[in-house]
Amino acid sequence: MKKKFKLLIFASGSKTGGGSGFENLVLKAREGILDANVIAVVSNHERGGVRERADRLNVPFIHFIGPWTEEEYKKLVEKSGAEFVALSGWLKLVAGLNPKTTFNIHPGPLPRFGGKGMYGHFVHEAVMEAFKKGELTHTQITMHFVTEKYDEGPIFFRLNIPILQDDTEESLGKRVNCYEHEYQPIITNLVVQGKIKWDGINPSSLQIPLDYSIEQSV
């Protein structure tokens, strides 16, 4: 029988909602689109949207209150037994985890719209402002391996998404979220199956399938 790698998901969500990306990954794993075993989900909100989804999906929930230090991250992941870590809306800086097996999804073009404080609606606000100035015509979903600086690890997926003339921050955010749900499980599967990988040190070591393009468009 083919081994299913153990995947731990970090998803902050909020005190009242969030976590749709985590739920989507779980459902796609159960459908076989993502060939991995989601062993648990981590959130910094004890009773937030991620917890509600975890309970409903019968997925173990880990409340991580910090400190968000290298020692605490390592302890949590080692205790879980995870072989891969997916950040899906995790808003804290990650330190100390294996950069070869830890990866993130970001709702905007990197590196321009990344870094500390650039998440969720803040990204879409900045993208729409640049669009109105005529500086860009598309936004992106990006996925990258995680190093100890926000959004600076090697990028292994970019999805170009056209910005519409009547878009608002809210409408753009909803459309980006829909594409995240469509593509995140597929690309995550390539990572956990070892088809997308790097040595954890040199970005030029990034390896991708021969028939795969890092930059794609809708």
Q: Where are the domains of the chain?
A: 5-106+142-158+175-217
| Partners of 143 in beta bridges | 105, 157
pLDDT in tens, 30-67: 999 999 999 999 999 999 999 999 999 999 999 999 89
The whole-number average pLDDT for the span 131-156 is 95
Q: With 80 as the cut, is the pLDDT of residue 97 above it?
A: yes
C-alpha 171/C-alpha 102 separation (Å) is: 30
Q: With 90 as the cut, is the pLDDT of residue 216 above it?
A: yes
Burial of 151 (0-12, 13-18, 19+ CB in 10 A): buried
Q: With 90 as the cut, is the pLDDT of residue 116 above it?
A: no
pLDDT tier for residue 156 given thresholds of 50, 70 and 90: very high
Q: With 90 as the cut, is the pLDDT of residue 135 above it?
A: yes
pLDDT in tens, 161-170: 999 999 999 9
C-alpha 39/C-alpha 76 separation (Å) is: 13
Q: What is 5-106+142-158+175-217's CATH topology?
A: Rossmann fold (3.40.50)
Angle between helix 120-132 and helix 169-192 axes, rounded to 10 deg: 120
What's residue 150's pLDDT? 86
Decide if 186 contacts 195 (C-beta within 8 A): no
For residue 170, count other CB atoms closer than 10 A to its CB. Answer: 11
C-alpha 105/C-alpha 108 separation (Å) is: 9
Residue 14 one-letter amino acid:
S
- List the strands of the sheet with 155-162, edge to edge: 61-63, 36-43, 5-10, 84-87, 102-106, 138-145, 155-162, 215-217
Average pLDDT, the chain: 96
Q: With 90 as the cut, is the pLDDT of residue 149 above it?
A: no
What's residue 1's pLDDT? 62
